[in-house]
Amino acid sequence: MSTIIRRTPDELMIMREAGRINAMALQAMREAVRPGISTKELDRLAEDVIRKHNAKAAFLGYRPYHVPTAYPATITASINDELVHGIPSEDRVLKEGDIISLDCGTQYNGYIGDSAFTMGVGEISEEAQRLLDVTEAALYAGIDKARAGNETRDISRTIQKYIESRGFGVVREYTGHGVGTEMHAEPQIPNWWPSGRQRARGYRSITLEPGTVFALEPMVSARTPQTKVLSDHWTVVTCDGSLCAHFEHTIAVTPEGPPLILTTV
């Protein structure tokens, strides 16, 4: 059983700066999203912001043990039925009515900030807008539960209930995660959890303590939530082709009250 690291005030100050730079990178992309822009152009914008602040792109070169190729870019850019990990490309050009999920990680003085959002390109359908609104609100409902003394399953259940009660599907294959000097650490925080005394198979629920830092990231499908990975080994899409959304913040549990959101400007 690996231990959950609690960060010191000095570490949290560095993590706040990592998160701030990451948020600025996301903001630069948000302002640039429009029909006709390629996902590679968005990647360059994020890269510029990160480099200008003497930080490093945390995703670039990242390679989990089960993937044969290291990640080749600063951001992941996932369009419509793509959920996460879409690789930026000059050939992927945004169109009016698309939705785009942009995820970015910044490493500053050895510490990482990780956050993401989904937005519409120009005018989007009412259904797509509702999907974005519900996913973002589910993230904030989860964040509100990230208080000292609560358990991680309280967060998981809150996020799941928020999403499913509004008729959308919770993706099971990817979870929130501890963040620090590594991008993915303990605890893992799924966006779902069985009710009562049952456990989520493969996960444990831990009691939150001040100084614990993790990313929450609900991933939501408009219809069925099953996903698959494309042959590029990275891009995750919904199996039924339905639209999906993803919002993420890195947060730190405080001694009292709601957590500190580290990934804001």
By CB under 5 A, residue 17 contacts Mg ion: no
Asked if residues 183 and 114 have their Cβ atoms less than 8 Å apart, the reply is: yes
User: How near is the Cβ of 215 to Mg ion at its closest, in Å?
Assistant: 4
Spatial CB neighbours of 211, under 8 Å, sequence gap ≥ 6: 6, 7, 8, 12, 252, 253
By CB under 5 A, residue 50 contacts Mg ion: no
Spatial CB neighbours of 106, under 8 Å, sequence gap ≥ 6: 18, 19, 21, 22, 25, 50, 55, 56, 57, 58, 112, 113
By CB under 5 A, residue 114 contacts Mg ion: yes
By CB under 5 A, residue 58 contacts Mg ion: no
By CB under 5 A, residue 213 contacts Mg ion: no
User: How near is the Cβ of 83 to Mg ion at its closest, in Å?
Assistant: 12
By CB under 5 A, residue 116 contacts Mg ion: yes
For tokens 């549990």, the residue is 253
Residues 141-160 that bind Mg ion (CB under 5 A): none
Spatial CB neighbours of 40, under 8 Å, sequence gap ≥ 6: 88, 89, 90, 92
User: How near is the Cβ of 91 to Mg ion at its closest, in Å?
Assistant: 23
By CB under 5 A, residue 103 contacts Mg ion: yes
User: How many whole angstroms from its chain centre is CA 132?
Assistant: 13
User: How near is the Cβ of 218 to Mg ion at its closest, in Å?
Assistant: 11
Residues 166-205 that bind Mg ion (CB under 5 A): none
Binding site for Mg ion (CB under 5 A): 103, 114, 116, 215, 248
